[in-house]
Amino acid sequence: MKTLYSCSVKRTDIETFMEIDIDYLREDIKNWRNDFLGKLNKDKVIQFAEKFVTQKT
């Protein structure tokens, strides 16, 4: 049996959670590397999943 998961998150929620500004990140790929990927780690992914991802029944 497979488990389905769902995530419905608004852009503003992601910006607040990750403490980023998506408009700024769009300006240059270096911004993505430094500001987004630099903050992304296993603990942050787990926190995101706990807050925004739900299991579908």
Measured between alpha carbons, how far is 2 from 4 in angstroms, rounded to an integer? Answer: 7
What was the pLDDT predicted at 44?
93
Q: Given a cut of 80, is residue 57 above it in pLDDT?
A: no
Q: Which residue(s) pair with 54 in the sheet?
A: 6
What was the pLDDT predicted at 33?
83
What was the pLDDT predicted at 35?
83
Task: Kindly provide the b/e burial profile for residues 18-35, where b requires at least 16 CB atoms within 10 angstroms of the residue's own CB.
Answer: bebeeeebeeeeeebeeb
**Per-residue pLDDT reduced to its tens digit, 3-52:** 999 999 999 999 999 998 989 888 888 888 888 888 899 999 999 999 99
